Amino acid sequence: MADKSSANAYWAANVRIILISLAVWFICSFGLGILLRPALKGIMVGGADLGFWMAQNGSIYVFIALIFIYAKMMNKVDREHGVEE
């Protein structure tokens, strides 16, 4: 990396994407799956309440989506900052 400020901007973009992704990660698993489950008992996903479904299946789908979206966004950020391989 030749340019220090460009390197800092790249890293800041990465950290920002990570923070947003981890917020979603937290809300879907710890939030909907554990902490908010009692409050959301009325919302059903098929035969399961939302919290139960998030804890046993839903959050896993969200995790997969998060990783691929992160990978895709970072590939774009890599190119914008000229640091792709």
Partner 1 sequence: MDQFTLNLIVVGFTFAIYIGIAIWARAGSTAEFYAAGQGVNPIMNGMATGADWMSAASFISMAGIIALAPVGGYTQSAFLMGWTGGYVLLAMLLAPYLRKFGKFTVPEFVGDRFYSKTARLVAVLCLIVISVTYVIGQMRGVGVTFSRFLEVSTDMGLYIGAAVVFAYAVLGGMKGITYTQVAQYIVLIIAYTIPAIFISLSLTGNFLPQLGLIGGYAPQGGEISMLAKLDQVVTELGFTAYTADTTNMFNMFLFTMALMIGTAGLPHVIVRFFTVPKVADARSSAGWALVFIALLYTVAPAVGAMARLNLTTTFWPGAKEGSALSAPALSLADIDSKPELSWINTWKATGLLEFSDKNGDGLIQYFNEPKAVADANKKLAEATKALADAPADADKTPLEAAVAEATTARDAALAEAKLGDKTLAELGFVGNEVTKVDNDIMVLANPEIAALPGWVVALVAAGGLAAALSTAAGLLLAISSAVSHDLIKGAINPNISEKGELLAARISMAFAIALATYLGLNPPGFAAQVVALAFGLAAATIFPVLMMGIFSKRVNTAGAITGMLAGLVFTSVYIFLYLGWFFIPGTNVYPNTPDQHFFGISPLSIGTIGAVVNFVVAYAVSMATKAPPQHVVDLVESIRVPKGAGKAVAH
User: What CA dihedral angle connects 62, 66, 69 and 70, to 10 degrees?
Assistant: 180
Among 16, 29, 39, 42, binds partner 1 (CB under 8 A): 29
Among 23, 34, 39, 43, binds partner 1 (CB under 8 A): 34
CA separation for the pair 58, 47 (Å, rounded): 14
What does each C-alpha distance from 16 to 1, 11, 48 come to in angstroms?
20, 9, 34
Site for partner 1 contains 63 (CB under 8 A): yes
Report CA 60 to chain centroid distance, whole Å: 11
Site for partner 1 contains 50 (CB under 8 A): no
What is the binding site for partner 1 (CB under 8 A)?
Answer: 1, 7, 10-11, 14, 18, 21-22, 25, 29-30, 33-35, 37-38, 45-49, 52-53, 55-57, 59-61, 63-64, 66-68, 70-71, 74-75, 78, 81-85
